[in-house]
Amino acid sequence: MLTQGDGWENLETHAPLTTEWLDEDFDDGYGLEEGCAFALWTRRYIYFPACYDGSEWVASMARNPDGVPADHVGGG
């Protein structure tokens, strides 16, 4: 969110609807996926998990058309 200039104050909804999943760590090394499936919608962006070869991170894209193409998510 910080990379996008976004923040929790812009959060509109999320799935799952409980927040316990926020405490689950992502594994930024290689191995098994540890983070859960989720989606966050803010006023400007949608955030979701991405993974390649077990390394996990959060990816995002604009919520509304903005003319910026989306990069590949996941592959290497």
What digits encode the pLDDT tens for the residues 32-73?
777 778 899 999 999 998 888 878 888 999 999 888 888 888
Domain boundaries, the chain: 8-62
- The pLDDT score that the predictor gives to residue 76 is 58
Closest residue by Cα to residue 41 from 71, 62, 68, 25 = 62
Prediction pTM value: 0.79
